[in-house]
Structure 1
Amino acid sequence: MPEYYPVYLNLAGKSCVIVGGGTVAQGKIAALRDAGADIKIISPQVTDGIKRAVQHGDVVWIQREYKPGDLGGAFIAVAATNVWHVNRQIHEEAENRGVLLNVVDDPDQCTFIAPSIVRRDPITLAISTGGASPALARKMREVLSEARILQWAELAGVLSQARRVIKEKRTAIDPTRWQCVITEELLQLTHNGNDDETVGIILSQLEDPGIPEMCPDLAHCRPGGCAKRAAMRAAEAVS
């Protein structure tokens, strides 16, 4: 089984071809549509759900069997038929054209596999077993969807604002210092809707070299970590 390289793709405006019209093909539409892909489905028959997607303008349906050349111009493709030799033909065309291909339930013919997704905007977690067990990936998605750790996603907005300010000032900040700033107290402020106050605290902690428990050099944290990092590690060990 291949070792996959995890990556997020920008599919906005990119052509995506799905060969097959069953429930598996239908299940691929939502994520591809949300990513902005232009979706074309090739199949003699399709599910009612795909028909509704066609009516809503989410996909284009070409009502016939796959034939060589159908991946022309595609950036990404999905083979969702249950006919091995057809999937093999699609695989060969994708290889020749350099099209990224997912062959459902056949990792050996895939150039990419679709992970299970946990989303807490703007944070996305992708879970993959490398094709070993999609059921396990789905189970982990269900567990993580309810996990307390996802509450940290609430900080993404304020951290992004602070990052823009730091970039505009061209201030060099050690990445470890950013980690020190991300605390439960900060999360609570954001949870209570105090975004402006939260951004202010982030900036003050990032830019003030005189905070006793943090490293005095903004651009280079001390080897072994500052006092704040040590305290954070100790708290994590206790919990």
Structure 2
Amino acid sequence: MPEYYPVYLNLTGKRCVILGGGTIAQGKLAALRDAGADIKLISPQCTDGIKRAAQRGHITLVQRAYRPGDLDGAFIAVAATNVWHVNRQIYEEAEARGVLLNVVDDPDQCTFIAPSIVRRDPITLAISTGGASPALARKMRETLSEDKVLQWAELADVLARARKVIKEQRTVIDPTRWQCVITADLLAMTRNGKDDEAVERVLAQLLDADLPEMCPDLTACKAGGCVKRAAQRAAEAVS
């Protein structure tokens, strides 16, 4: 089984060709559409859900069997025909054209696999077992969906705003310092609707070298030199 390199793709405006019209093919549509892909689905038969998607203009539907050349202009493709030799033809065309391909339930013919997704906007977690067990990936997705760790996603907007200011100032900040400012207190401020105050707090902790609870060096946090970090470690050890 190959080792996969995890990556997120920008599919905005890019052609995605789906070969197959069953429930699995239909299940691929929502995520691809949300990602902004230009979806073309080719299949002689298809589900009512696929037909409705075509009627609403969400996809281009071509009701016929696969033909060589159907991947022309495609950036990625999904083969979900349930016919091995057809999927093999699609794989060979994808290889020849350099098109990224997912062949459903056949990792050996995939150049990419679709992970299980946990989403708490704007945070997305992708879970993969490398094709070993889709059922296990789903179980982990369902478990993580209820995990309290996802509460940290609520800080994304605050941290993005602070990061924009830091980038505009072209200030170099040690990555460890960013970790120090992400605290339960900051999360509580955001949950109480105090986003502007939270942004100001983050910027103060990132940019003020004189704060007693932070390391005095903005660019190189020193082990043992940060009172706040030491307190966090002590709290974690107790819990």
Q: Which amino acid aligns with 2:116?
A: S
Q: Which residue of 1 is the match for residue 211 of structure 2?
A: 211
**Equivalent position amino acid for 1:218 in 2:** L
How far apart are 1:170 and its partner, in Å? 1.5
Q: Residue in 1 aligned with 2:125?
A: 125
Counterpart for residue 33 of structure 2: 33
What residue number does 2:79 align with? 79
Q: Indicate the SS of the match to 1:143.
A: helix
Q: How many residues align?
A: 239
Tell me the equivalent position of 1:155. 155
The alpha-carbon deviation at position 210 of structure 1 amounts to 1.3
One-letter amino acid of the structure 2 residue matched with residue 213 of structure 1: E
Q: Distance in 1 between matches of 2:237 and 2:4?
A: 32
Counterpart of 2:95 in structure 1 is 95
- CA shift at 1:237, angstroms? 2.6
Cα 1:172–1:51 change in 2 (3 A) is same
Alpha-carbon spacing, 1:225–1:104, altered in 2? closer, same or farther (3 Å): farther
| Corresponding letter in the other structure for 1:87 | N
Helix, strand or coil at the partner of 2:214: coil
Question: Could you report, residue by residue, the CA deviation over 1:192-239 in whole angstroms, capped at 9, with x for unpaired residues?
Answer: 100010001001111111122321111111145623222212222322
Mapped to 2, the partners of 1:183 and 1:19 lie a distance apart of 47
Question: 2:61 corresponds to which residue?
Answer: 61
Aligned to 1:195: 195
Determine helix, strand or coil for the equivalent of 2:112.
Answer: coil
Pair 1:79–1:224, CA change in 2 (3 A):
farther
SS at match of 2:111: coil
Whole-angstrom distance in 1 between the partners of 2:19 and 2:184:
47
Distance 1:196 1:123 in 2: 20
**What letter is aligned with 2:85?**
H
Q: RMSD value over aligned CA atoms?
A: 1.0
For 2:7, the equivalent position in structure 1 comes to 7
Segments of structure 2 that go 5 or more residues without pairing to the other structure are: none
Q: Distance in 2 between matches of 1:224 and 1:99?
A: 50
Runs of 4 or more above 4 Å deviation: none
CA distance in 1 between counterparts of 2:11 and 2:162 reads 28
The separation in 1 between residues aligned to 2:225 and 2:45, in whole angstroms, is 61
Give the distance between the partners of 2:238 and 2:52, measured in 1 at CA: 53
Residue type matched to 2:155 in 1? L
Question: What is the TM-score normalised by the length of structure 1?
Answer: 0.98
- In the aligned structure 2, how far is the partner of 1:222 from the partner of 1:163? 22
Q: TM-score, normalised by structure 2?
A: 0.98
Q: Which residue of 2 aligns with 1:136?
A: 136
Shift of 1:169: 1.4
1:176 CA drift (Å): 0.5
Task: Note the C-alpha offset of 1:141.
Answer: 0.7
SS at match of 2:220: coil
Q: Deviations over 1:146-198 (max 9, x none)?
A: 11111100100010111111111111111100100000000000001000100
Mapped to 2, the partners of 1:224 and 1:104 lie a distance apart of 50
SS at match of 1:210: coil
Report the secondary structure of 1:53's partner residue: helix
Gaps of 5+ in 1: none
- % of aligned pairs identical? 79
Secondary structure in structure 1 of the residue aligned to 2:159: helix
